[in-house]
Structure formats: C-alpha cells, structure tokens
Chain A
Amino acid sequence: MAMEQDIFDAVVMADERFHGEGYQEGYEEGSSLGIVEGKQYGVLHGAKIGSEIGCYRGFALAWKCLLHSGAGEKESRKMKVVEALITLLQDFPYDDPTYEKLHEDLERIRGKFRQDHWAALPGCLLHPSIFCVLPISLPEQKLAPQCF
C-alpha cells in the first residue's frame, strides 16, 4: 500500500513537472509575442486616431488663418466655431489609449466639425470619413455660390 502511494505521487509529480517546464518556456515566448502583437494592433489604432485628429487640427488652424484675413460678421461667427474646435482638439488626449472618454470626446469633435455654421462650405468637404481617407475631388460647377 505504501509502495503504491509512493509510485502514484512520483507519477503525479513528474506529470506536473513536465507541464511546468513547458509552461515556463511558453510564458517567456508568450510575453515577447504579446508585446509584438499588441504593438502592431496599437500602432494601427493610434495611427487612425492621430491621422483623424491631425486632419481636424490642420484644417481648423488653416481656416483660422484664412478667416483672419477676411473681415465681416459672417467671418467672426465662423471664427468662433473654428476656435471652439481648436480648443476641443487641444484638450483631447488623442495619444492616450487608456483615456476613458476617448470615443465620447472623439464623437464630440466630429459633431462640432459638422455644425450648421459650416453650411457656407460644401458639406461633403467636411465629412471626416471622406477627407481623412480619400483625396477630395469635386467638379467646380457643383459648388455652392461663393461667399467670400
């Protein structure tokens, strides 16, 4: 009886020891793979956000400069919208993947971009999915009347 117990323990211990050795080796390999795979996913998602936010920021800063040269009531109202957008963008921690309100704030920025005050510009030029992904190309005759 004692002899059988000893043999049984030896078998179980050997079983666990072999499993443990494989586990340890796999864990080290898995840790390396996790960094690499996670980083690849992260770069793609981060690049998407960076590209979109960069587009909005570049667009808004450029238009602020363009509107600055113009004078008039319409321009001042548009300037307020542009400056509000710039403020939103400055406060948005686009490069922090752990930010809890990442998607919420991003939607606010997108919504601000589509505000009615931009009606003076062709609407499709402002659609994020269009100008952030595809180059914008429009026939001239389809444009709205000039406002400047």
Chain B
Amino acid sequence: MSWFRATPEIPSPGDQDVFDEEADESLLVQREWQDHMRKRVQEGYRDGIDAGKAVTLQQGFNQGYKEGADVILNYGLLRGTLSALLSWCHLHGNSSTLIGKINNLLDAVGQCEECVIKHLKSVTSPPHITDLLDSIEDLDLCHVVPPEKAVEARGDTSADISTDADRSPNGMDCSHPECCRTQEHAHLEKPSLTWILEQTSNLVKQLGISVDILQHLRQL
C-alpha cells in the first residue's frame, strides 16, 4: 500500500520540471529571434539612410548653393560699392565723420547678410517657382529705390534728418539676435536694406560724387 501511494507522486514533479524547461527554452528562442529581427531592421534603416543621403546630398547642395549665391550677390554689390567709396574718401582726405558713416553702413550690410543666410538655412522646403518669383520681387523691393523716395531724398535736409530718425531703429533691429528669430524678419529686412541704400545715396551727394555710381544697385 505504501508503495502504491509513492508511485503517483514521483511522475508529477517530473512533468512540471519538463514543462518548465520547455517553456523557458521556448521563450528564450522567441526573445532571441525578436532581438535578431529588431537588429536587422535597425541595420537596414541605417543603411537606407546612408544610401538615401548619398543620392540627394549633392542635389540639395546644388540647390542651396545657387540660392545662397544669387541672394547674397546683391549684398556683396552694396558692400563693394561702399568699400570703393571708403577708399575714395581715404584718397581724398575726407573727414573722419564720413568715413565713420561708411564703416557703419558696411557693418549694417554685414549684419543683413548674416540674417539672410540664417533665414535661407532654416527654410527646408524646396523652392517652387512661385516662391522664387516672390523672392525676386522681394529683392526688387529691397534694392530699387522707389521714385517717391527718390523725390523725397531730393527734398530739404530737415526731411532727410527726420527720415533718418524714423528709419534707424529698423537698422538697429537687424543687429539684434531676435531679428533672426521673429516671424517678421522678412518684413524687417526690407526697411533695413532700403535704409542702407538711402543712407548710401545721401552720402554720395555729400561727397559731391555723381549718383550714377549707384546705378548698378538700382538695376537690381
């Protein structure tokens, strides 16, 4: 009788052990498989990113290069003109006040350039035809002195002085970091560049130089 009772007890622990071992092995295999597949996906993803970049990096560079060159050329033109005026002033022994004014305008142009470059870098969408046309129109607005302003510039000195007072804050705005972060950056930029052009035009008259020297800037 005692032998009979002992017999059923022995197999049941064995069954449990076998079951547990099988379960453990099954889970291990499953986990290993999942880890392996996850790694394969990650490897594929990395390979895909590298391949995709390799194909489009040159294309993106060419787009950005042309965009940057075309936009900044106009600022370079203005800077070069101011540099010519500066060297002319030095040669003719003009007053340090006028030389200081030209240096300030050169600083302002440099700041505008930096703002524009930051703006171009932040724009990630590829340019469409309408966007490019808008950019061109913006450039035209920036670089061409409107006839009414030209007339105003020929007015009396007090009018010019008041214009300077009204405009200079915009010029200063460009020197602040916030200028590059605000959504109104594009709007602020135009008065600033226009202000520089007006100041340059006034300066040319003070120097007694023909305004034709700015003709290539008006054509922009």
Which residues of A are in contact with B by a Cβ distance under 8 Å? 14-15, 18-47, 49-63, 65-66, 69, 94-98, 121-122, 125, 131-132, 135-138, 140, 143-144, 146-148
Q: Range of interface residues on chain B? A: 35 or more
Looking at chain B's contact residues, the main secondary structure is helix
Complex partner residue of B60 from A35, A56, A147, CB under 8 angstroms: A35
Residues 65-85 of B contacting A (Cβ, < 8 Å): 65-85
In the complex where A29-B49, A147-B91 touch, is A22 in contact with B43 (Cβ < 8 A)?
yes
A147 CA to B61 CA in the complex, in Å?
46
- B44 CB, nearest partner CB in chain A, Å: 3
Chain B residues, CB < 8 A from A125? 83, 86-87, 90
Q: Tell me if B117 counts as interface (CB < 8 A to partner A).
A: yes
Q: Tell me if B121 counts as interface (CB < 8 A to partner A).
A: yes
Looking at chain A's contact residues, the main secondary structure is helix
* A-B contacts, CB under 8 A, total: 284
A138 CA to B47 CA in the complex, in Å?
56
Find out whether the CB atom of A14 lies under 8 angstroms from the CB atom of B52: no
Chain B residues, CB < 8 A from A52? 76
Chain B residues, CB < 8 A from A29? 45, 48-49, 52
Find out whether the CB atom of A95 lies under 8 angstroms from the CB atom of B49: no
Chain A residues, CB < 8 A from B52? 26-34
Chain A residues, CB < 8 A from B209? 65-66, 69
Q: Tell me if B162 counts as interface (CB < 8 A to partner A).
A: no
A122 CA to B9 CA in the complex, in Å?
109
Chain B residues, CB < 8 A from A147? 91
A148 CA to B59 CA in the complex, in Å?
50
Complex partner residue of A54 from B50, B59, B72, CB under 8 angstroms: B72
- B198 CB, nearest partner CB in chain A, Å: 17
In the complex where A22-B40, A58-B80, A131-B83 touch, is A47 in contact with B96 (Cβ < 8 A)?
no
| Stretch of B130-138, B183-191, B210-218 lying at the A interface | B210-218
Q: Which 10 A-B pairs have the closest CB atoms?
A: A54-B76, A30-B52, A38-B60, A26-B48, A58-B80, A42-B64, A22-B44, A46-B68, A34-B56, A39-B64
